[in-house]
Chain A
Amino acid sequence: MIIGNAKPLEQIIEMLDPFDRIILAGCNGCVTVCRAGGQKEVEILASTLKLAREAASKPIEIRPETLERQCDPEYLEQMRPYIDGYQAVLSIACGAGVQFLAETFKKTPMLPGINTNFIGVTERQGEWSERCQACGECVLHLTGGICPVTRCSKSIFHGPCGGSVSGHCEIDRSVPCGWQLIIDRLNALDRLDMYEKLRPMKRWRQSRDGGPRRIVREDLTQ
């Protein structure tokens, strides 16, 4: 899922300064699971912002809404009947949601209430870590199910670099060396031959090097 976390309240208060009637829009997707932008967070943020603004003698009216997803047009359309009655939307969905809102409702300022961080997993309640950088060409079948693009700090493809010490990365001793993980895993699977096999260079054009990406599936489009 996409992992995000709340922006500092002071930053949100500053963003909202010109407005006194807004929609606070959450999302029932990824950000609900990572406790950054679901219905609960909408309620908490709305209440906190109302308190902050009233304490500053600048009360604000907030309409709390949590859409099923902010990355699908049909759910955004649910806002159309009432959006013109508000000066701005503070969205606590991921960056995709905020942008899609801005594209859909061009006259309304859209403000991000969270920072979107990465595609990752829940390690335990309250702790998430990165697993995928959406590079566009998955190699997990070659690397024992451990991604060299994400887990190696340099995203290198040919084994641990000189900064790998006792299985840890030079950037931080708490970060395991991605390539150490891959080799240990291949060893456990008795597939170290995968590591020894020469492979063509990775096509980074399918990653961000090719600019914003788009997928069109003719079998699904109408």
Chain B
Amino acid sequence: MLVPCTGRVEEIMVLRAFENGADGVMVVGCLEGDCHFQVGNLRARKRVERVDKLLGAAGIGIGRVRMVNLSAGEGAKFVVHATQMVEHIEKMGPSPINQVRQGWEEKIDRIDPEQRVGEQA
């Protein structure tokens, strides 16, 4: 998802990603002190930290959202951070939301297709 500045990233955007099935979210902003809008990336970091706490309190787990600061020229570093994030999330496993949803899907799959109601062939 592209935004003009991470200062545009609000808590609800990150939460919606989890509602929509994300297992983790990484917010990548400019280097601290380099924000074109002065404090956009600093605000984003605080919001990310707030969402992290909310997700912890909601039982989704702390550490599924992370803020990283990189310059536009640090492609290699981006790869490192993205890889670390993916490994970290894989270690944590699917979000509890996805585990519950997966459970439902498996239950639905076990139902005899002829007994299913409201499902198009």
Contacts from A to B (Cβ < 8 Å): 8-10, 13, 40, 43-44, 47-52, 54-57
Contact = CB atoms under 8 A, between A and B. Distances in A.
B30 interface: no
26 contacts: A8-B57, A9-B57, A9-B58, A40-B11, A43-B12, A44-B11, A44-B12, A44-B54, A47-B15, A47-B16, A48-B55, A48-B57, A51-B18, A51-B19, A51-B55, A51-B58, A51-B60, A52-B59, A52-B60, A54-B101, A55-B58, A55-B95, A55-B96, A55-B97, A56-B59, A57-B100
A48 B16 CA distance: 9
Given A9-B58, A55-B60, 16 more contacts: A9-B57, A13-B58, A40-B12, A44-B12, A44-B54, A48-B55, A48-B58, A49-B58, A51-B19, A51-B60, A52-B58, A54-B100, A55-B95, A55-B96, A55-B100, A57-B103
A13 B97 CA distance: 16
Interface in B86-100: 95-97, 100
Contacts, number: 50
Contacts of A55: 58-60, 95-97, 100
Interface string B40-68: 00000000000000110111100000000
A32 to B, nearest CB: 15
Contact of B10 (A9, A40, A49, A56): A40
A10 B59 CA distance: 10
Interface size class of B (residues with CB under 8 A): 10 to 19
A43 B101 CA distance: 22
B100 A9 contact: no
The A interface is mostly helix, strand or loop, or mixed, namely helix
Nearest to B18: A51
A47 B60 contact: no
7 tightest A-B CB contacts, nearest first: A52-B58, A55-B96, A9-B57, A47-B15, A55-B59, A43-B12, A51-B58
A8 B56 CA distance: 12
A162 to B, nearest CB: 41
Contacts of A52: 57-60
A44 B82 CA distance: 26
A51 B11 contact: no
A135 B101 CA distance: 54
A47 B97 contact: no
B10 to A, nearest CB: 7
Contacts of B16: 47
Contacts of A50: 19
Most buried by A among B18, B19, B59: B59
A51 B57 contact: no
